Amino acid sequence: MRPQRGKNQLGIFHSLAFVVSCLLPLLSFRYSSLPSEAIALLCSIPLFIVTYEFGLLWGAAAGCALAVGASLFPGLGGSGIYFLMILLPAAYVRWRQRLLEADCSLVKQHLEENITVYNKKIAELQGIVDREAFNATAIYEFTSILGSTLHYQETLNLMVDTILRIVPYDACCLFLLDDEADELYIEVARGLSGAGKETRCKMGLGVVGLVAQTGQSILVKDYERDTRFQPLQFGHKFASVLSLPLITKGKIIGVLEVLKEEPSAFDNNDLRILTIIANQAAFSIRNANLYSQVMQQAITDPVTGLANHRYFKEVLAKEFQRATRYGRELSLLLLDLDHFKEINDAHGHQIGDRVLTEFSRQLTAMIRDNVDLAARYGGEEFCVILPETGLGEALKIAERIRRRVAEKHFADCLKLTVSIGVATFPQHAETSEQLIKAADLACYQAKHRGRNLIMPAE
């Protein structure tokens, strides 16, 4: 498109052209013997320029001026006709130029509108691409994190913590199904005070119960206005709830629930991404649970349910290292059931196993939970690791065990006694093996001196 000029200005080039075009016919008329038609054509050049640059009105005025000039100079003859012949095409060209300028302006407006629409669409598509890229990265991160461990509780904790970075929440609960009670209990929770395994949900009741019963996800935009459900039992006012089933091999094992206080905080994209995560989570929970069961079986005595000999040795070595490092005391009880062989011979091994099982339960009930460790050392021999326990306290614990065993009836009618040897680090040993040997020797002395006794190591 030709660049637009100022309303009452000529460009430098056109100004010079106009001056020269005006001088040419005057000089030709004054000093040349050119025919009048040629002089008329020369006179038409400034007329064309004026019309093209300033429009038809100025061109007509210039044409009238030339016509008047032609009448003053008869030698020009019919030059007015030539003026009109030039004026009309120039006017037509100017008119077409105005139309083209109007069309270009309209096209420009349409292009700007289309560009705006396309930019919006590009921004929307870019948002979708960014969201999908984030979702793909989040799923990969979630899968990688869950694949980094097979420990059951660690898997569950990693799960709910990683979900927070993918779908922000104010609270999150991981419910697992108790098949025997037909209820769901909270295994892991974030953002909820007072929520634990004692918090139970009946199948079919509430959002969690309904999800567990139907196996279908539920997205609640505003919980208080949703008449399908009763108020939440957590003591918090959460408006948005997104609850998804955890299904593995066609069986529901639990429910994943995320909550936020503001309404409409979750959308269908959150539902979609969390559905993928829930499927992966269910698979990871199942694997971690199987791994936990296998590991538990590997360290558990199958008859008594206590730790087996191998696990006892591992824990004793760790506790001994810790006691050595921090200068703490560590005691070990070694227990031997008196005349146990006679029970097996008189009543059979099934009754003998029952006696061992009941004794193990009694022993476990009399030591500190998650601190001390009771293990089956072999046959009718048992041991108890007592971290941060001196000899005096260990003797008191041993006496309490001995007295309780002597008072109880096993397998409904059998009486039983136990001989106990007690050894303590650092008084009796410098290594874990020496500690075992000292406790074993003390137990042997207790049996040698009449059984149903407690003997400290020498």
Catalytic: 380? yes
Distance of CA 54 to the CA centre of its chain: 69
Cα separation, 351 vs 145, in Å, equals 48
The CA distance from 364 to 375, in Å, is 9
Q: How many helices (H) and strands (E) does the chain have?
A: 12, 13
Q: Which of 53, 224, 380, 430 is catalytic?
A: 380
**Do 144 and 280 contact (CB within 8 A), yes or no?**
no
406 touches 452 (CB < 8 A):
yes
Instruction: Give the span between the Cα atoms of 208 and 218, in whole angstroms.
Output: 9
- 3-class secondary structure per residue, 102-123: HHHHHHHHHHHHHHHHHHHHHH
DSSP-H helix ranges across 32-78:
36-54, 56-72
Q: Say if CB 28 and CB 41 are below 8 A apart.
A: no
C-beta of residue 188 within 8 angstroms of C-beta of residue 257 = no
Residues annotated as part of the active site: 380
